[in-house]
Structure 1
């Protein structure tokens, strides 16, 4: 690979600039030469051969767009001269053959996890407090204030101290000194942790449960049941008002389907039955505290890597995502699948254009047909409200080289590696099979990570080229940079840097293996993901309207 430009697939008619290239530069490629007619910013693409209007742009070996106007050889492509076009898809067209990677260095490795009675193993140990309806959000927040500091889960608020200093100067009339006050981060601990084996109490407030469609309430209950069943969760306290669409009986039914033996403690309180708010809150606090004592008795013990369920997500993507971080975690996924573990690839709007490849990789026709149905239903729903998958790339994506949804999707799909597709899951459906699973979620960062956790992921690998602080209350979200400049600029949110692939210092396979080692350390509690350190507990259930 040249350290200045890259042709990803032999059949491509575009190259990716790995560094800024200038108009007039003469490049040597494929035994010939090409003179650039435009400036090509790093992460953007230039044409190998000229294109006429309607002719196709090929990248990653697939159709990713078509020309709107004549484009010269060596010319840059952008929204001014190409538009989205994706390859058509149908049922399986060929039998898929896969050669698993060598996993000999990982076969004897384990992680230290929390073993649950149902056989799952958590990489963390949380207690959840969940409202079944938004009317209970305030009560959940009261419980949060009562518990967090007293149990030692709070962190010192350096920003509060910063504001205090600004207020003091203002009161003293020293407003001329306000701009010179510097922020001082603190690493001091607050109260000492009361329960050493509990990683935290998480409060999943939301705006659903009532006032929406019955489908939304059913989906919310299924999602919450998945969160309670997630191996990172020891148990949960549920607050209900009593009259909402998301009924207690629906949640119980959904959770019982996942945990028929009732192996996990769940406290359910109904405010309209409890009477006063004081009675509701004191019962919730008392019962939860007693269960925390039991949850604290579990300790980390070795577990095989086959017990890992890892989500695969990208957000704030750039033109390097599909050639560094995404294929790197794709290799990590292949390693985990070979070891008997599970991975979950989400974001269906970002699989547009690579459908046929994924259909052909499905292990059976049923999974392939479900994938087709979900993709077409989702696409039609978007078009029905005047949108479409072609509108998926954000302004930041486009600025950094992801010109069409098909370009973005072809690179995003690399997160799924090359393993066969074991199963296709609808939103809020819990994982059933080991191997690579496709999960129907939006591309929206938080709606997607929220859904992936509800399907059983203990850890989520989240690649980013632009930077995003997204986290989750239950899954440990590991942020992986596509380029070293981002990792250096935002070290407070980035956990791992795959920029070595762009510079040529490391291969995709080397990074994939190193990422798996990193996962093992996070899963064992030896490394804390940055999103966890920042208490980035993002939780937004997907209401089944259109969200890209």
Structure 2
């Protein structure tokens, strides 16, 4: 019989409902009986003792809130009777060791990747088009239409065929057209547009330059075509300096075009098409070769989280991260607003005092900027989060941080900085799904693992994004976006360790190109830079 409640940490004074509970129902839990006071939906939290106003609420072993009013044992926790509260952290107080997982069976495993001259290995081989400024978005869109029509597999999808049948008042066009073959087998062509590069403060353009340079540096990119207008804040030389800073010996081809120096749009596009085609054709000669798992750099993301995310999908990613780190690989934990409340553990896991201090400085500066804007980290849970049991930011954060496992933190990076150290890295980003995913890829992630309890289609133009559901109901309902289902953990049919092994095998398949992630199949090419400044 499936358990009805689970307590995540021995010191917790609340439990998570694994199934819907009815008022009056009596549950035997930890050798005592608990009478359910009011209906509790699955994923929500139930009090394991009486609370009075001001009493601290603990979950995952940390402070996640305090009672706003009296809460009876067996009653449900809500935004009405609980408010956000987290522990204050000022310094490193301890050094936390970790139990290194046994990865003996994985040591000789490899994936088939694209080897770059700087020693990185890509899980994809992509030629990337992007602008330095939003003024060039239209030209990027024209190039996308031209190159996708000629180089990529294209057919009218079912929705296009449906509209055509409605326009023609006929059912004849509902028959699918045959696919055309790709011109090149070993190269993909992707396009980025964005609203930045000018009109804001200079720091925004410099930040965007570092992000775009990171995309060129990313091992999944073979080369790039870059469009500039000419008069914008993000000048070509600023981008080149950003690229040189992270890749001083860059060997990848980067084709630059400045519209104000080239004359008409037609003249510029003609040159771009000829030169880019030749470069893409050359990049197609790069083939996959075996690479050790230490060459994997995984980004760890969660979005559309629910009350099960922190006890199934996120811990699965955490153990997968630990396994990869033990194999010499790299993991990136971002979303700083969703680390609020677990700072002490993370600080104590930092290998150096300098990293611990930098993490606290970045967290405090980020939170101050949010408060100065009239908000706060306590406003982080979305309506969907709250509806599915994540009622305080600290509660959401404590579950979200499980994606980072238990390994030591080797480095702390600000937004736009590139990962250079194997092991677990912290990267300062917002909690926004696309902004965070965009940033991790700009910092070098060649695979992104993305957990969700409610369902989100987020993807990336150059890096495969693997969607991991926290519950089987979601995996069945939104099967077109979910790659791996960790619902068996909730049902008690698999352990976290067993799910992590399934996860790592799936990562190897996606990294090798034998399996395509659902986000890639849907061409979910999301790219949103984090705009930290103001517009002028």
Q: Give the TM-score category using the shorter length.
A: over 0.9
2:146 & 2:77 partners in 1: Cα distance? 56
Q: CA deviation at 1:227?
A: 0.3
2:63 & 2:204 partners in 1: Cα distance? 36
1:157 & 1:260 partners in 2: Cα distance? 44
Q: Does 1:192 align with 2:170?
A: no
Query: Which residue is 1:149 aligned to?
Result: 149
Q: Does 1:139 align with 2:128?
A: no
Deviation readout 1:344-402 (Å, 9 max, x if unpaired): 01100000000010000000011111100110001011111111100000000000000
- SS, match of residue 104 in structure 2: coil
1:184 & 1:341 partners in 2: Cα distance? 48
Query: Which residue is 1:81 aligned to?
Result: 81
2:333 to 345, 351, 364: 345
Q: CA deviation at 1:158?
A: 2.3
Q: CA deviation at 1:153?
A: 3.9
- CA contact 1:152–1:190 (8 Å) conserved in 2: no
- CA contact 1:151–1:191 (8 Å) conserved in 2: no
Query: Which residue is 1:14 aligned to?
Result: 14
- CA contact 1:8–1:15 (8 Å) conserved in 2: yes
Q: Does 1:426 align with 2:414?
A: yes
Q: CA deviation at 1:506?
A: 0.1
1:516 & 1:185 partners in 2: Cα distance? 39
2:218 to 230, 238, 241: 230
Identify which range, 238-247 or 259-268, moves more after superposition. Answer: 259-268
> 1:368-517 residue pairs with structure 2 within 5 A?
368-517=356-505
- SS, match of residue 148 in structure 1: helix
RMSD between aligned alpha carbons? 1.5
Runs of 4+ in 1 over 6 A off after TM superposition: 181-185
Identify which range, 489-498 or 148-157, moves more after superposition. Answer: 148-157
Deviation readout 1:192-217 (Å, 9 max, x if unpaired): 1111111x211110110010110110
Evaluate the alpha carbon distance shift between residue 539 and residue 75 of structure 1 in structure 2; reply closer, same or farther with a 3 A threshold.
same
Q: Does 1:532 align with 2:515?
A: no
- CA contact 1:310–1:342 (8 Å) conserved in 2: yes
Evaluate the alpha carbon distance shift between residue 183 and residue 95 of structure 1 in structure 2; reply closer, same or farther with a 3 A threshold.
farther
Query: Which residue is 1:61 aligned to?
Result: 61
Query: Which residue is 1:518 aligned to?
Result: 506
- SS, match of residue 268 in structure 1: strand
2:194 & 2:448 partners in 1: Cα distance? 21
Query: Which residue is 1:177 aligned to?
Result: none
Deviation readout 1:98-124 (Å, 9 max, x if unpaired): 221000111010000000111110000
2:45 & 2:419 partners in 1: Cα distance? 38
Evaluate the alpha carbon distance shift between residue 182 and residue 342 of structure 1 in structure 2; reply closer, same or farther with a 3 A threshold.
farther
- SS, match of residue 427 in structure 1: coil
Deviation readout 1:461-505 (Å, 9 max, x if unpaired): 000000000000011000000000000000000001000000000
1:274 & 1:319 partners in 2: Cα distance? 55
Q: CA deviation at 1:282?
A: 0.8
> 1:159-308 residue pairs with structure 2 within 5 A?
159-169=159-169, 190-198=179-187, 200-308=188-296
Evaluate the alpha carbon distance shift between residue 355 and residue 185 of structure 1 in structure 2; reply closer, same or farther with a 3 A threshold.
farther
Evaluate the alpha carbon distance shift between residue 150 and residue 424 of structure 1 in structure 2; reply closer, same or farther with a 3 A threshold.
same
Q: CA deviation at 1:407?
A: 0.5
2:206 & 2:437 partners in 1: Cα distance? 19
- SS, match of residue 451 in structure 2: strand
2:345 & 2:382 partners in 1: Cα distance? 25
Evaluate the alpha carbon distance shift between residue 429 and residue 182 of structure 1 in structure 2; reply closer, same or farther with a 3 A threshold.
farther
Query: Which residue is 2:44 aligned to?
Result: 44
Q: CA deviation at 1:185?
A: 9.6
1:182 & 1:98 partners in 2: Cα distance? 63
What are the ranges of 5 or more consecutive residues in structure 2 without an aligned counterpart? none
1:324 to 302, 308, 312: 312
1:365 to 346, 353, 356: 353
Q: CA deviation at 1:184?
A: 6.7
- CA contact 1:344–1:439 (8 Å) conserved in 2: yes
Evaluate the alpha carbon distance shift between residue 425 and residue 185 of structure 1 in structure 2; reply closer, same or farther with a 3 A threshold.
farther
> 1:98-117 residue pairs with structure 2 within 5 A?
98-117=98-117
Deviation readout 1:142-181 (Å, 9 max, x if unpaired): 1111111111243433211111112223xx8xxxxxxxx8
1:28 & 1:224 partners in 2: Cα distance? 55
Identify which range, 259-268 or 228-237, moves more after superposition. Answer: 259-268
1:432 & 1:116 partners in 2: Cα distance? 15
- SS, match of residue 207 in structure 1: coil
Evaluate the alpha carbon distance shift between residue 250 and residue 279 of structure 1 in structure 2; reply closer, same or farther with a 3 A threshold.
same
- SS, match of residue 106 in structure 2: coil
- SS, match of residue 108 in structure 2: coil
- CA contact 1:101–1:335 (8 Å) conserved in 2: yes
- SS, match of residue 40 in structure 1: coil
- CA contact 2:165–2:174 (8 Å) conserved in 1: no
Evaluate the alpha carbon distance shift between residue 362 and residue 324 of structure 1 in structure 2; reply closer, same or farther with a 3 A threshold.
same
1:499 & 1:282 partners in 2: Cα distance? 52
Q: CA deviation at 1:262?
A: 2.5
Q: CA deviation at 1:526?
A: 0.6
Q: CA deviation at 1:276?
A: 1.5
2:518 & 2:280 partners in 1: Cα distance? 25
